Amino acid sequence: MVESVHRNSGGHQVFFIFVDNGSTDGTAEFLAAQPGVAKLIRNPTNVGVNPAWNELLKEALNHTPDVVCLANNDILVGPGWLDAVSAEIAKDDKRYFLPNGQFSNAATFDDDVRRALPGLSGTIPARAGWCMFFHPSAIPLFHPIPEEMKLWYGDDWMHHHLAKHGYRCESVRATCCLHHVSKTIAEYPGMAEQVTRDREAYVRLTEENATLDEVTDTVRELVGGQVEDTRADFLKTMTAGAPTTELYNRFLFLWVQKMAPGLIVETGTDRGRSGAHMAMGSDRSKVISVDIDPVCSAQLDALKLPNVETVTGDAVDASHRFPFHTIDMMFLDSLHEYDHMVREMGAYMSKLKPGALVFVDDIHLNSGMERLWSEVGRAKRDISALHFSGFGVFQV
């Protein structure tokens, strides 16, 4: 990377800020010897990608740059790479940029870029994270990246927060870079487990409030008569031969219609109304409904909905049939007793995807359910306008 920057940055004053994450192979010494190094930050251990990015960005702002390029160590930059992107950033119009990454042959990269440049102009919408260009004024909008995310999702954090402030991400077609995809990150101890933790942190920190707010908005619209669930009349007649008046069933239909979660698990089939409403919400969703009473399973089976499967048995025992992180949405409506619900929630928690929503019926039915709801330590909403005995949702 460094040599290609020196070779292809004519007409621009470039300085480097490096973070060395505890290397022992002479990398730090190599970097320190390079011309144009404004700062070399040496960490005694590998602190991870996102903490290192925080260090880089903080230091970069101390140098009053015109452009900040945050780049991985596994890239090459092409001839004239800074010309077009510098011109775009100078417009300071709520955009940030990525390079053109269409090139793949390192041996012929510079020549390939020179041949292509006459036909490359303008920008196109894009999203990635291996090399990004910012106007300095954009950086405080997302910095610092939460450091509980060690390796992954730092770029997603940037995209998320910049979008909230009205920024657009675009690729500059004449700013050409080649991404090698380094294997260094794969050597991070416990990488797979850390990426899972990073994902959980990212979802919790960025998505939970937005998703739950959308839930409450949908409830408000339904209660206020502002939405029409187009298949509601059909559902009223098909479930157990009696009208379905519960607002929470109509809400479940609307929510699945809106979000189309892939796998929905319901505990407590009862007469099959909730399962049917969720299944009818989207034919892209699969509903698996669990009940210990075979009569309840049979009632839902009788509806012959193609995207419904019933399981007869104890809900806790049935949890073993679901692999880790596979459930997109869950509806808990079985035995409304504290001890049972604690076991049930514990059995399914690891089966839910990060960010999955769990809807809980009857959260105010008795003191045990009140206690259960009070002990849910995750982002949650009480949406009991949907049901006289209480209705709630929390996000994993």
Q: Which residues of the chain have pLDDT under 50?
A: 229-244
pLDDT at 240: 44
Domain boundary among 189, 224, 252: 189
The span from the CA of 365 to the CA of 27, in Å, is 63
What is the number of residues in the chain? 396
Mark whether 152 and 206 lie in a shared domain: no
Mark whether 73 and 125 lie in a shared domain: yes
Residue 60 lies in a domain: yes
Mark whether 110 and 205 lie in a shared domain: no
Residues 331 and 359 sit within 8 Å (Cβ to Cβ): yes
Residue 113 lies in a domain: yes
Mark whether 160 and 234 lie in a shared domain: no
Residues with Cβ < 8 Å from 193, sequence gap 6 or more?
none
pLDDT at 394: 92
Domain count, the chain: 2
Mark whether 180 and 301 lie in a shared domain: no
Domain boundary among 157, 189, 221: 189
Mark whether 33 and 143 lie in a shared domain: yes
pLDDT at 237: 44
Residues with Cβ < 8 Å from 356, sequence gap 6 or more?
261, 327, 328, 329, 330, 395, 396
- The strand pair at 286-291 and 308-312 is best described as parallel
The span from the CA of 356 to the CA of 162, in Å, is 24
Mark whether 183 and 203 lie in a shared domain: no
As a dihedral over the C-alpha atoms of residue 196, residue 199, residue 205, residue 207, rounded to 10 degrees, the angle is -130
Cβ neighbours of 45 (radius 10 Å): 7
Mark whether 178 and 222 lie in a shared domain: no
Residue 291 lies in a domain: yes
The span from the CA of 197 to the CA of 201, in Å, is 6
Domain boundary among 166, 189, 212: 189
pLDDT at 129: 85
The enclosing domain of 248 has a CATH number of 3.40.50.150
Mark whether 89 and 203 lie in a shared domain: no
Q: CA nearest 332: which of 283, 280, 284, 376?
A: 376
pLDDT at 53: 96
DSSP 190: T
- The strand pair at 263-267 and 327-332 is best described as parallel
Query: Tokens 């870079």 sit at which residue?
Result: 177
What range does the domain containing 145 cover?
2-189
Mark whether 180 and 221 lie in a shared domain: no
pLDDT at 241: 45
Residue 354 lies in a domain: yes
In degrees rounded to 5, what are phi and psi of residue 360?
-125, 125
Residue 194 lies in a domain: no
Residue 224 lies in a domain: yes
Kindly report the pTM of this predicted structure.
0.55
- The strand pair at 327-332 and 352-361 is best described as parallel
Cβ neighbours of 304 (radius 10 Å): 7
Residue 103 lies in a domain: yes
pLDDT at 285: 93
Q: CA nearest 201: which of 163, 167, 160, 262?
A: 160
Whole-Å CA distances, 343 to 103, 357, 360: 53, 18, 14
Residue 43 lies in a domain: yes
The enclosing domain of 78 has a CATH number of 3.90.550.10
Mark whether 103 and 218 lie in a shared domain: no
pLDDT digits (tens, 9 = 90+) for 316-330: 999 999 988 899 999
Which secondary-structure segment (H or E) carries 31?
Answer: helix 27-32
Three-state SS at 45: coil
Mark whether 164 and 274 lie in a shared domain: no
pLDDT at 49: 92
